[in-house]
Amino acid sequence: MAASMGRGRGGGSTSFQKKARAKSLHIPGTRPSPQGNQLLVSTGVPSLDHIIGGGVVVGTVLLVEEDTFGNYARLLVKYFMAEGIMARHPLLLSSAELHPRQLLGDLPAPVSEDVGKTATHQGDVPSEKQVQKEAPMKIAWRYQNLPTEQPELGAFSQFGHYYDLSRTMSSEMTDSAPSRLFYLPDELPLEEQGAWTGSITNPAYVKLLQSIRDVVMEGQFDLTVPQPKDVSRTVLRIGLHCLGSPLWGEQDGGASHDASLPHFLHALRALLRTSLAACLVTVPTHLFQDAAFTRRLEKLCDSVVRLESFAGSEKEQNPAYRDYHGLLYVRQLSQANSLLSHVPDCSDFAFKLRRKKFAVEKLHLPPELQESQQREQDEPVAALKTSAASCFTSGKSKLDF
């Protein structure tokens, strides 16, 4: 991939020079990754950036496997687009369900003062903290001065912006970024979408791929074509919302899937490798009955993150998960230009949606505060064990310890 950066030379104290392109790309809204020197763009969610290795590598595809009702995946698309607007990146947004204009009209507003951002962060939960500080610890006093809050993942990076979900971005701001909107029913009328047979590639995907290629070519994001030196370069952000839903004509014929979507992803990845573009795709993989098809889609993208929402499921009631709204699984991370991908320091993540922001955290069990013999979160397990346990408790003897 051509988007990697040459590191600038040091103070000249040594004659050794790293064999790299001396010219470095300075593109607003990007930074080189500490590992592998890749050019990164932020997803708009700093904690997610931290997990996937600093951000989305330019030239790769980040696949988000949607939660059951798609709410949180849609939120990630909005963050990705909002970050693009803040960094003045051109946008390409496609959808078949909601009109992309509707999505763009509902972006989270940036927290205006970047200086005050740490203050507003800490200001979120001041009351609980102070309450806990008052009682001095009698036994484990060494923990007295430790922070009671889990620090937000990647909280100290100065990359990306913070957004307030309770307010929407002003329309002047959303209009300021050059954007190409792709709304499937407008681009390809229903009559032309027709009922196609399996041998033909899905016309909807063909059309979308053509549009992406056109934007890449016209906007001079293609790195294989030499560009005039005086043109300042920028990164194209592509958001594909809910790709592969029934509205895209994804065939749900039981065992066999149409090969159009894997073909599309393959072509998209090839196109992005040679261009200054980063892509976020959300796919409702929970609709696919065939697990192998999902695996195939995952393999055809660079980074894969799966969201699992607790909404409407039994986990909503599980006390172990009461602080969170869902789980985030990291399936695969980008290996562009390196042998090894970034390895996150733990594998269990959960996300929560507060009134103003969406954040990903390390999953941990809530502290045990009840004086019960049995921890609450053990109950589902305990229910299974009752048959085994009953032989101990069946005796009604008073001295049955």
Partner 1 sequence: MLQQVLEGTETSSLVVIEDCVEHDGRPVFHCFCSELAKRCASVHLFHLEKPADCFLEGANVSKIHLHDGFSDPLLWEEQNRDSSEDRIDLTSAPDFLGHVKKLSVKTSPVAVVIDSLTPYLLHCPGYVICRALHRLLRARLDSDGVEIALVVAGFHGDLHDDSTAVALRHMATTWVQLQEGAESPTRSREGAESPTQDRACFHGTCEVLHRRKSGKVIRQDEEYHISAQWSLTSRVQKAPVRPAAQPDQESQVDPTANLTFNLRLTDTEKEARSRVVLPYMHHQRKKAPDKPAATPGGQIFYQPDDVDDFDEEDPDDDLDF
Out of 37, 71, 211, 318, which residue is the one contacting partner 1 (CB under 8 A)? 71
Name the helix (H) or strand (E) containing 121.
helix 117-123
Kindly tell me which of 178 and 185 has the beta carbon lying closer to partner 1: 185
Total of chain residues touching partner 1, rule CB under 8 A: 45
Out of 19, 26, 138, 229, which residue is the one contacting partner 1 (CB under 8 A)? 138
For the CB of residue 70, give the shortest distance to partner 1 in the complex, in Å. 8
Instruction: Rule CB under 8 A: say whether 326 interacts with partner 1.
Output: no
Instruction: Rule CB under 8 A: say whether 190 interacts with partner 1.
Output: yes
Instruction: Rule CB under 8 A: say whether 287 interacts with partner 1.
Output: yes
Distance between CA atoms of residues 401 and 399, nearest Å: 6
Instruction: Rule CB under 8 A: say whether 145 interacts with partner 1.
Output: no
Pair 265, 297: CB distance under 8 Å: yes
Kindly tell me which of 221 and 288 has the beta carbon lying closer to partner 1: 288
Out of 49, 65, 83, 97, which residue is the one contacting partner 1 (CB under 8 A)? 97
Out of 24, 130, 289, 347, which residue is the one contacting partner 1 (CB under 8 A)? 289
Residue 77 sits at the vertex; the CA angle it makes with 218 and 343, to the nearest 5 degrees, is 100
Instruction: Rule CB under 8 A: say whether 379 interacts with partner 1.
Output: yes
Contacts of 139 (CB under 8 A, 6+ apart): none
Out of 178, 185, 203, 319, which residue is the one contacting partner 1 (CB under 8 A)? 185
Instruction: Rule CB under 8 A: say whether 356 interacts with partner 1.
Output: no
Site for partner 1 in 237-256 (CB under 8 A): 245-254
Distance between CA atoms of residues 244 and 187, nearest Å: 16
The single-letter code of the amino acid at 150 is: Q
Distance between CA atoms of residues 238 and 258, nearest Å: 24
Instruction: Rule CB under 8 A: say whether 381 interacts with partner 1.
Output: no
Contacts of 229 (CB under 8 A, 6+ apart): none
Q: Which of 286, 281, 282 is nearest to 252 (CA)?
A: 286
Instruction: Rule CB under 8 A: say whether 65 interacts with partner 1.
Output: no
Instruction: Rule CB under 8 A: say whether 11 interacts with partner 1.
Output: no
Out of 286, 315, 331, 362, which residue is the one contacting partner 1 (CB under 8 A)? 286
Distance between CA atoms of residues 17 and 9, nearest Å: 7
Write phi, then psi, for 191 (nearest 5 degrees): -65, -35
Segment interacting with partner 1, rule: CB under 8 A, options 54-62, 76-84, 218-226, 287-295: 287-295
Q: Identify the residue whose tokens are 């080189």.
A: 32
* Residue 12, Cβ density class (10 Å: 0-12 exposed, 13-18 middle, ≥19 buried): exposed
Neighbours of 15 (CB within 10 A): 5
**Which residues in this chain contact partner 1 in the complex, by CB under 8 A?**
69-71, 96-97, 138-139, 141-142, 185, 190, 193-195, 245-254, 284, 286-289, 309, 311-312, 379, 382-383, 386, 390, 393-394, 396-401
